[in-house]
Amino acid sequence: MDKNYDYLIVGSGLFGATFAHQMTKAGKKCLVIDKRGHQGGNIYCREIEKINVHWYGPHIFHTNDKEIWDFVNSFVEFNRFTYTPVANYKGELYSLPFNMNTFYQLWKTKTPAEAKSIIDEQVAKNFIKQPKNLEEQALNFVGKDIYVKLIKGYTEKQWGRKAIELPAFIIKRLPLRFTYDNNYFSDKYQGIPIGGYNKLVEGLLEGVEVQLGTDFFKNKDELIKLATKIVYTGKLDEYFSYSLGHLQYRSLEFNHQVLDTENYQGSAAVNYTDFETPYTRIVEHKHFEFGKQPKTVITKEYPLEWTTEKEPYYPINDFENETLANQYKKLKELEPNVIFGGRLAEYKYYDMHQVIASSLHAAKAELNVR
């Protein structure tokens, strides 16, 4: 039977959309399907009150890679937004990430030497040569005060696990700085697409056939007949019918609200770092694009364990799940005509720039360009 498409791409998120763009540019015929009613995966924005609402959580693009930055800017211009979230611990406000402003708020220290000496003293009390989990890593990194007020509660509710059960690498995402700099990221390039992320996805998918509301697994037998190769960006274990057991994911519930006020919290994000507040953060979307609309839209983000009817937002890369994911990855060898890519199919805690890099790499490999 004749195949109509070179590639059937399952998922219109950044991995699928980037791959489709590269292959279409190279003259290949692609069909992108997505089970959701919109394209873009988790970077999708919905316009409410003329504000681009980051429908699946706040997305700030950041990278050190000029090629990736130029690539995304070739579809849409990015603004100069810098992420400077605030932490609220039981009503006390602290600057994030951990920097000289935070240290002043905690201890009234004014110089790097003063702050360093407090952190060094606290680190020395609990120092562990080879930290094996997030708690040990955090105590080695910033000491007890910051760990208790700004890390432990947030982390344990975000992941639904004790910090001693979580991998150390998660906390390495956050910088520690002895300058008065509230920039959450240390990357060279950072911003938000002017007009929202949908513009980026529309640019990537220009000229590509997209079929929404189509679940790969509900129509698998028919769909696989359509293309020579499949690009799969859904859950790794689901592809293999959970034959080796279930991988765990962390899910979220987003409670979006329109408020009749111009400026609710003065920051794109406030993190609630105590354990008792049931949400991890409140996002106020207009600040991503310096909006001056008369109303505002806020989102409270509630972490949840993933179950079949929920969206799997985060892989849980602890030892048990990594071991199982690696066993599934071995099964990929039995599927030479399937490319597995993105946060879910690679089971990696990827940021957007990393997903794009992975997709560009996969496209290059397909085209044998070195």
Shortest CB 248 distance to ligand FAD, Å: 15
158, interface contact from ligand UDP, ligand FAD, none, CB < 5-8 Å by kind: ligand UDP
326: Cβ contacts below 8 Å, ≥ 6 apart: none
Residue-level length of the chain: 370
193 φ/ψ angles, rounded to the nearest 5 degrees = -60, 130
Spatial contact of 176 and 115, defined as CB atoms under 8 Å apart = no
Judged by CB, which is closer to ligand UDP: 15, or 75? 15
Shortest CB 216 distance to ligand UDP, Å: 26
CA distance 368 to 370: 6
CA distance 95 to 217: 45
Q: Which of 34, 136, 301, 346 is catalytic?
A: 301
Contacts to ligand UDP from residues 163-202, by CB under 6 A: 170-171, 173-174
Exactly one of 43, 76, 139, 151 binds ligand UDP (CB under 6 A); which one? 151
| DSSP label at residue 246 | P
Q: Which of 44, 239, 250, 289 is catalytic?
A: 250
Q: Single out the residue of 284, 306, 280, 315 nearest to residue 297, CA to CA.
A: 284
The yes-or-no answer on residue 173 being catalytic is yes
**Contact flag: residue 248 with ligand UDP (CB under 6 A):** no
The yes-or-no answer on residue 281 being catalytic is yes
Shortest CB 39 distance to ligand FAD, Å: 7
The yes-or-no answer on residue 250 being catalytic is yes
321: Cβ contacts below 8 Å, ≥ 6 apart: 247, 248, 315, 347
Contacts to ligand UDP from residues 43-102, by CB under 6 A: 87, 96
Shortest CB 325 distance to ligand UDP, Å: 18
Spatial contact of 299 and 272, defined as CB atoms under 8 Å apart = no
Tell me the residue ranges of DSSP E strands in 260-294: 269-272, 281-284
Residues near ligand FAD (CB under 6 A) are 10-16, 33-36, 41-43, 56-61, 215-217, 233-234, 252, 313, 342-344, 350-353, 355
| DSSP label at residue 284 | E
Active-site residues: which are they? 173, 177, 250, 281, 301, 349, 351
Interface residues toward ligand UDP, by CB under 6 A: 87, 96, 150-151, 154-155, 158, 170-171, 173-174, 271, 273
